[in-house]
Structure 1
Amino acid sequence: MHSLHADLSPDDRLDPAEPARVIEIGEITAGIAVPEGRGVRFFSSARDFDGLDGAVFRTAEQAARAARARVSTRSRTAARRDQPRLRHA
Protein backbone atom coordinates (compact mmCIF):
# COMPACT_ATOMS: atom_id res chain seq x y z
CA MET A 1 0.00 0.00 0.00
CA HIS A 2 1.24 3.48 -0.71
CA SER A 3 0.50 6.86 0.82
CA LEU A 4 -0.29 10.07 -0.96
CA HIS A 5 2.10 12.89 -0.15
CA ALA A 6 1.78 16.54 -1.06
CA ASP A 7 4.85 18.26 -2.45
CA LEU A 8 5.75 20.85 0.17
CA SER A 9 8.08 23.73 -0.55
CA PRO A 10 10.17 25.53 2.09
CA ASP A 11 7.88 28.56 1.72
CA ASP A 12 4.83 26.60 2.93
CA ARG A 13 3.83 27.52 6.44
CA LEU A 14 1.33 25.89 8.78
CA ASP A 15 -0.23 27.83 11.60
CA PRO A 16 0.92 25.90 14.70
CA ALA A 17 -2.30 26.88 16.44
CA GLU A 18 -4.41 25.18 13.75
CA PRO A 19 -6.44 22.39 15.36
CA ALA A 20 -7.24 19.00 13.88
CA ARG A 21 -10.23 19.22 11.53
CA VAL A 22 -13.00 16.70 11.12
CA ILE A 23 -13.71 15.97 7.46
CA GLU A 24 -17.31 15.16 6.67
CA ILE A 25 -18.67 14.21 3.28
CA GLY A 26 -22.41 14.69 3.45
CA GLU A 27 -23.50 12.93 6.61
CA ILE A 28 -20.46 10.63 6.67
CA THR A 29 -17.45 11.41 8.84
CA ALA A 30 -14.57 10.53 6.53
CA GLY A 31 -11.81 11.17 9.05
CA ILE A 32 -9.69 13.87 10.60
CA ALA A 33 -6.86 16.02 9.27
CA VAL A 34 -4.18 16.51 11.93
CA PRO A 35 -1.48 19.18 11.50
CA GLU A 36 1.94 17.63 10.98
CA GLY A 37 5.02 19.52 9.87
CA ARG A 38 3.95 21.80 7.05
CA GLY A 39 0.85 19.81 6.11
CA VAL A 40 -1.86 17.62 7.57
CA ARG A 41 -2.05 13.85 7.96
CA PHE A 42 -5.39 12.20 7.23
CA PHE A 43 -6.72 9.52 9.57
CA SER A 44 -9.79 7.72 8.23
CA SER A 45 -12.79 6.98 10.39
CA ALA A 46 -14.80 5.04 7.82
CA ARG A 47 -13.79 2.01 5.77
CA ASP A 48 -14.50 3.77 2.46
CA PHE A 49 -11.65 6.19 3.21
CA ASP A 50 -9.04 3.70 4.44
CA GLY A 51 -7.13 4.15 1.18
CA LEU A 52 -6.35 7.70 2.29
CA ASP A 53 -5.40 6.74 5.86
CA GLY A 54 -1.98 8.13 6.75
CA ALA A 55 -1.72 10.27 3.63
CA VAL A 56 -0.12 13.70 4.05
CA PHE A 57 -1.71 16.70 2.33
CA ARG A 58 -0.70 20.33 2.11
CA THR A 59 -4.00 21.52 3.60
CA ALA A 60 -7.10 20.09 5.25
CA GLU A 61 -9.06 21.25 2.19
CA GLN A 62 -6.87 19.08 -0.06
CA ALA A 63 -7.60 16.13 2.22
CA ALA A 64 -11.32 16.89 2.02
CA ARG A 65 -11.13 17.06 -1.80
CA ALA A 66 -9.42 13.66 -1.89
CA ALA A 67 -12.15 12.21 0.34
CA ARG A 68 -14.88 13.71 -1.87
CA ALA A 69 -13.16 12.26 -4.94
CA ARG A 70 -13.25 8.79 -3.35
CA VAL A 71 -16.97 9.13 -2.72
CA SER A 72 -17.71 10.25 -6.28
CA THR A 73 -15.55 7.46 -7.73
CA ARG A 74 -17.30 4.84 -5.61
CA SER A 75 -20.71 6.29 -6.54
CA ARG A 76 -19.94 6.06 -10.26
CA THR A 77 -18.68 2.48 -9.87
CA ALA A 78 -21.80 1.46 -7.94
CA ALA A 79 -24.05 3.13 -10.51
CA ARG A 80 -22.39 1.18 -13.32
CA ARG A 81 -22.71 -2.05 -11.37
CA ASP A 82 -26.47 -1.46 -10.88
CA GLN A 83 -27.18 -0.77 -14.55
CA PRO A 84 -28.68 -3.63 -16.52
CA ARG A 85 -26.22 -5.18 -18.89
CA LEU A 86 -27.05 -5.20 -22.58
CA ARG A 87 -26.75 -8.47 -24.40
CA HIS A 88 -25.66 -8.48 -28.01
CA ALA A 89 -27.34 -10.90 -30.38
Structure 2
Amino acid sequence: MDLKKIIKEKTGTIVDVRTPMEFSGGNAEGSINIPLQELEIRKEELKSLKQPLVLCCASGGRSGQATQYLTHQGIECYNGGSWLDVNFYQTQTV
Protein backbone atom coordinates (compact mmCIF):
# COMPACT_ATOMS: atom_id res chain seq x y z
CA MET A 1 0.00 0.00 0.00
CA ASP A 2 1.33 3.36 -1.05
CA LEU A 3 -0.77 5.96 0.73
CA LYS A 4 0.67 8.85 -1.27
CA LYS A 5 -0.17 7.05 -4.53
CA ILE A 6 -3.74 6.32 -3.41
CA ILE A 7 -4.21 10.02 -2.58
CA LYS A 8 -2.50 11.36 -5.70
CA GLU A 9 -4.23 9.00 -8.14
CA LYS A 10 -7.61 9.30 -6.38
CA THR A 11 -8.05 5.54 -6.26
CA GLY A 12 -10.02 5.72 -3.01
CA THR A 13 -12.14 8.15 -0.99
CA ILE A 14 -10.81 10.73 1.46
CA VAL A 15 -12.91 10.86 4.62
CA ASP A 16 -12.30 13.62 7.16
CA VAL A 17 -13.41 12.53 10.63
CA ARG A 18 -13.25 15.97 12.28
CA THR A 19 -16.33 17.88 13.42
CA PRO A 20 -18.35 19.76 10.79
CA MET A 21 -17.11 23.07 12.26
CA GLU A 22 -13.46 22.00 11.90
CA PHE A 23 -14.13 20.67 8.40
CA SER A 24 -15.73 23.94 7.27
CA GLY A 25 -12.58 25.79 8.37
CA GLY A 26 -10.51 23.94 5.76
CA ASN A 27 -10.28 20.46 4.27
CA ALA A 28 -8.51 18.33 1.69
CA GLU A 29 -9.84 18.77 -1.83
CA GLY A 30 -12.60 16.28 -2.62
CA SER A 31 -12.85 14.95 0.93
CA ILE A 32 -16.13 14.16 2.61
CA ASN A 33 -16.91 14.83 6.25
CA ILE A 34 -18.09 11.97 8.45
CA PRO A 35 -17.28 12.86 12.07
CA LEU A 36 -15.65 10.19 14.23
CA GLN A 37 -18.69 9.97 16.52
CA GLU A 38 -20.95 9.17 13.50
CA LEU A 39 -18.92 6.27 12.08
CA GLU A 40 -21.02 3.54 13.66
CA ILE A 41 -24.38 4.92 12.51
CA ARG A 42 -23.01 5.70 9.01
CA LYS A 43 -21.21 2.38 8.56
CA GLU A 44 -23.31 1.33 5.54
CA GLU A 45 -22.63 4.67 3.84
CA LEU A 46 -18.91 4.18 4.46
CA LYS A 47 -19.04 0.65 3.01
CA SER A 48 -20.62 2.03 -0.17
CA LEU A 49 -17.81 4.54 -0.79
CA LYS A 50 -14.99 3.82 -3.23
CA GLN A 51 -12.35 1.96 -1.22
CA PRO A 52 -9.77 2.17 0.10
CA LEU A 53 -10.78 4.98 2.42
CA VAL A 54 -8.09 7.47 3.41
CA LEU A 55 -9.04 8.84 6.81
CA CYS A 56 -7.77 12.19 8.03
CA CYS A 57 -8.34 14.68 10.84
CA ALA A 58 -6.37 17.49 12.47
CA SER A 59 -3.31 15.52 13.58
CA GLY A 60 -3.88 11.83 12.87
CA GLY A 61 -5.23 10.79 16.27
CA ARG A 62 -8.93 10.59 15.47
CA SER A 63 -8.26 9.18 12.01
CA GLY A 64 -6.14 6.49 13.70
CA GLN A 65 -9.08 5.57 15.93
CA ALA A 66 -11.37 5.56 12.90
CA THR A 67 -8.95 3.35 10.93
CA GLN A 68 -8.85 0.81 13.75
CA TYR A 69 -12.65 0.73 14.08
CA LEU A 70 -13.40 0.54 10.35
CA THR A 71 -10.74 -2.10 9.71
CA HIS A 72 -12.52 -4.28 12.28
CA GLN A 73 -15.74 -3.69 10.33
CA GLY A 74 -14.14 -5.10 7.18
CA ILE A 75 -13.62 -1.76 5.46
CA GLU A 76 -10.31 -1.23 3.67
CA CYS A 77 -8.91 2.02 5.02
CA TYR A 78 -5.70 3.81 5.93
CA ASN A 79 -4.78 6.58 8.33
CA GLY A 80 -3.82 9.57 6.20
CA GLY A 81 -2.94 11.64 9.27
CA SER A 82 -3.55 15.36 9.13
CA TRP A 83 -5.81 16.73 6.40
CA LEU A 84 -2.97 19.16 5.67
CA ASP A 85 -0.70 16.22 4.85
CA VAL A 86 -3.37 14.72 2.58
CA ASN A 87 -3.77 18.09 0.88
CA PHE A 88 0.01 18.28 0.40
CA TYR A 89 0.15 14.81 -1.19
CA GLN A 90 -2.64 15.80 -3.60
CA THR A 91 -0.57 18.67 -4.93
CA GLN A 92 2.67 16.76 -5.51
CA THR A 93 3.68 16.37 -9.14
CA VAL A 94 6.23 13.59 -8.69
Q: TM-score, normalised by structure 1?
A: 0.27
- Structure (1/2) with the larger helix percentage: 2
Q: RCO higher in 1 or 2 (8 Å CA, sep ≥ 6)? A: 2
Which of structures 1 and 2 has the bigger CA Rg?
A: 1
- Structure (1/2) with the larger strand percentage: 1
Q: TM-score, normalised by structure 2?
A: 0.27
